Chain A
Amino acid sequence: AQTVTQSQPEMSVQEAETVTLSCTYDTSESDYYLFWYKQPPSRQMILVIRQEAYKQQNATENRFSVNFQKAAKSFSLKISDSQLGDAAMYFCAYSGSRLTFGEGTQLTVNP
């Protein structure tokens, strides 16, 4: 079974600074996808970014980018120029036979 681990239960960042959220996963599959979802206090699960495992190039969406290290099974999320609206719970997710989520990292953005 696949497992996803987010080792940072909480992180904080100053507004306009950069923060990196860590995620590691365990799998024996070679073809899979990885996602970061954001859950603000509204509870809505919002897709932030996705990465195809067969692509070496790291995915980027505006201020959000990933560092995907397939051999190390690592998939970290970098948020640049952090904004107050980035404050949320961030979930890393592995997509193989099913979508498996990590435990989440609660991000606080300080003004």
Chain B
Amino acid sequence: DTAVSQTPKYLVTQMGNDKSIKCEQNLGHDTMYWYKQDSKKFLKIMFSYNNKELIINETVPNRFSPKSPDKAHLNLHINSLELGDSAVYFCASSPAGGGSQETQYFGPGTRLLVL
């Protein structure tokens, strides 16, 4: 199946731990994104990468570090997890440079619960 996939789908962890979420797209897209959806369902962009290069870096704590080993993968590493990091994290991709005309295709989301 051509898609954007994320692992894991669910992540339950203790405060203070470090965790990673992986994202892969096999759509041949050049740009990938991370979004955070909070408990009120509000979706906000965190980062975007175009061909492994960071192009959007919203006001996100330094504990969040994205890494793009190649243009098909964008991982999100979170250090020293806090209760407020509990949310659903979505990966997305778009075909080219991330311009306004591009449709973004979303992964299934990773529900992170910090206890």
Binding site for B on A (CB under 8 A): 31-33, 35, 37, 39, 42-47, 50, 52, 89, 91, 95-101, 103-104
A33-B100, A95-B101 are known contacts. Are A103 and B41 too (CB-CB below 8 A)? yes
Pairwise interchain contact A104-B41, C-beta atoms closer than 8 A: yes
Binding site for A on B (CB under 8 A): 33, 40-45, 48, 56, 88, 90, 92, 100-106, 108-109, 111
Pairwise interchain contact A101-B101, C-beta atoms closer than 8 A: no
Set B44, B102, B105, B108: member contacting A101, Cβ < 8 A: B44
Which 10 pairs show the lowest CB-CB distances between chains A and B?
A45-B106, A101-B43, A95-B100, A43-B109, A104-B41, A96-B100, A33-B100, A32-B100, A98-B45, A44-B108
Which chain B residue shows the least CB distance to A43?
A: B109
Q: Write out the residue numbers on chain B whose beta carbons fall within 8 Å of the beta carbon of A47.
A: 103, 105
* Interface-central residue, A44, A91, A99, by most chain B CB under 10 Å: A99
Q: Write out the residue numbers on chain A whose beta carbons fall within 8 Å of the beta carbon of B40.
A: 103
